Amino acid sequence: MNADRYKSFIKTKAAELGFFYCGFSQAGFLEEEAPKLERWLNEGRHGKMTYMENHFDKRLNPQRLVEGSNSVISLLLNYFPQHSPSESAPKISKYAYGEDYHTVIKEKLKTLVEVMRQEIGDIQGRVFVDSAPVMDKAWAKKSGLGWVGKNTNLIHPKEGSFFFIAELITDLNFTQDPPLPDYCGTCTRCLEACPTQALTAPYEIDASKCISYLTIELKEQHLPAEFRGKMENWAFGCDICQDVCPWNRFSKAHQEKRFEPAFDFLDLDLETWEKVQESTFESWMKHSAIRRTGYEGLMRNLRFLKPIEKP
């Protein structure tokens, strides 16, 4: 089958579902990323995210993850919000303002697959949204959807970096879209702005120092004391290295209603948050990505933000 003749159809249908970019690459071993990933893991830069050590071969080759796969279709979905919360409120990463993106995007991807099957025939494949050993930024880069910047995020020259990356790994055989150049140039704003020095060098991150890791992935009862006073009021995730990136001046407000906050919890101050009971948290965050840190985890983060009272 000459799958390339369906590229335009797939991109059109993806756009109708809200994805603002869609790119194609050929599935295979990620030769360039393999030594980088191995070194990153050996140096312990993944902190206590031990799951990153699993499925090393599948992480680097989707053909081992999805039998019979030939291509990776990468898609970008905007989450840049229309409004900013109160400056005094504990900060929540922009991606978590609304409904959990895993649910929203998987529904869109399943719809896309069904439409493709109606048009193309009995295609095979699997959809992924940040929940399997898929190196999404690497595949999006190979698909011509941007470059991986010095802050280790994928950046698109017309959209910035406030978007989700998703994949459809399929048996269809598409030719690869051309990659985009790296336009970071001499800029180092992200490295200079990181309060915990998690960006150890251009294009390198020590995740164990990243505020997003500390507030979400780290499951310890207490956050490491060395980071006290460096969190810059972030309670869940962190957007600093994206907020300071010049390319995000091109970010535009998303049009996805499900990414809008269900209510004004983003404006709650620290004192109000501390009074929230677990049952209220579970009710508020029932459909939110913030549930990932759990009630105790969020309360731990909020306590860590409070200045130490001098005797």
Which residue numbers are catalytic? 130
Rounded to whole angstroms, the Cα distance separating 233 from 116 reads 45
Locate the DSSP E strands across the chain: 21-26, 71-78, 91-92, 125-128, 147-148, 154-155, 163-170, 234-236
Distances from the Cα of 106 to the Cα of 6, 89, 91, 285, angstroms = 21, 31, 27, 19
A 10 A CB-CB count for 39 gives: 11
First vs last C-alpha separation in the chain? 75
The one-letter amino acid code at 21 reads Y
According to DSSP, residue 156 is labeled: B
Cα-atom radius of gyration of the chain, to the nearest Å? 20
How deeply is 310 buried, as exposed, middle or buried, from its count of CB atoms within 10 A (0-12, 13-18, 19+)?
A: exposed
Distances from the Cα of 94 to the Cα of 13, 39, 135, 210, 211, angstroms = 26, 30, 22, 16, 14
Distances from the Cα of 232 to the Cα of 36, 193, 300, angstroms = 30, 11, 15
A 10 A CB-CB count for 16 gives: 12
Distances from the Cα of 184 to the Cα of 74, 188, 195, 211, angstroms = 22, 8, 20, 23
The one-letter amino acid code at 189 reads R
